[in-house]
Amino acid sequence: MSTDKEQLDVEDEFTPTETDDSEPVVEVAKTNLSKRRTIDNLLDERRLQRQLADYDFDL
């Protein structure tokens, strides 16, 4: 450590950066979850339709 007093250049004008970047990430996650649920529902419906088509009604 230096014992000499040195003049440091300090900027007095500090502009804080806004943290709006976190909100779109949350929206993207919600959108992806919504899309995934839609896909899962469509696949489930297709699976049920196949089971219904394969079902033997002559029991």
pLDDT digits 0-9 by tens, 1-55: 556 677 767 666 766 666 555 555 557 788 899 999 999 999 999 999 999 998 8
Backbone angles phi, psi at 36, to 5 degrees: -65, -40
- The length of the chain in residues reads 59
- Give the per-residue pLDDT at 56: 78
**Cα–Cα distance between 45 and 10 in angstroms, integer?**
64
Output the pTM of the full model: 0.47
- Give the per-residue pLDDT at 41: 97
* Residue 41 in tokens: 């529902």
More confident residue, 19 or 57: 57
